[in-house]
Structure 1
Amino acid sequence: MRWPMIALGAVSASTCLCCNADPPSVAGIVTVALDGEELIIDTGDGGKRPVIGTDDTVSGLCTLGAGYLGMWVQHHTAKFETLDLMDEPGHPHMTAEIAGITYQGGCSITTEVQRNDPYEADVSAGPCELFRPFDGAILRLESASFHLKGCWDD
């Protein structure tokens, strides 16, 4: 009975689609404006400190490959909770969550993949508007600038 389980584990490990040895790191800062209030998620040191996976205060993850970028950053104790940025071919979009309320929109995203590492990129967006789906209230994404490293392959 043990042999099939071991064999399944060996097959799963050999077919890994995201074979980067290190977990992804996300460093950056995003600023939004809502009802005259400026809200920020900063990974630390003015956006220079990378976060890896989850942290006590800020978490971040990314995927990158085949023309696709996905990035997520979360602040666990702030009013501005999450930014989810996705750049799919022909369909860039983001989602932000402020105090449990979701805002979504299509925003232009600039991605500069590093030539020496296809799993590393500089990403920026803004200014643009995100909308609350149920009533159209507007959240303005002033700017987002992130350095992603070790992103998983999509």
Structure 2
Amino acid sequence: MWERCRTVADSLQLPVPFDAARFIAALAERRGRPIDLVPVTGRPQLPCGLLVTTDTADCILYAADTTELHQQHILLHEAAHLICGHPESAPAAASAARTLLPNLSGALVARVLGRTVYREPQEREAELLASMILHRAQQSVGPAAPQGNWVDAVFGRAEDSGTGPHGG
């Protein structure tokens, strides 16, 4: 998984300066379908991010009441599911979608989100790819980027062991 994610992350064109919304807009253009970004607040029982895919568009709901860095990571995690070709559901997705998108019919939510359930490897893959994209974006900033930060420490140790952050 580590090598596959690294290959994918290295192949992606990132906007400079990096901006997750611009990256996702370019992804939507390449995929030929819109990806709507919907900020959500006041969702203590819901996930930080949610990908909803319909017949005509994709929608990424993300926590608006968190830091900018966390928002970027949430957006990239959900976009990574699209990049990796993962199915469009998660365990809590149906109830979250009904809560956050009350205008969607229950049948549509069930049809779109109820087809499959994410397995743990898909979540790890999306998380790893999102982290690698952010790491690449940080490296593209150049010499003014702070050295020795937590991203470098995590990725440096993972590279030294050859196993990646999730053990392979």
The structure where helix makes up a greater share of residues is 2
Tell me the TM-score normalised to structure 2 length: 0.27
Larger radius of gyration: 1
Larger strand proportion of the pair: 1
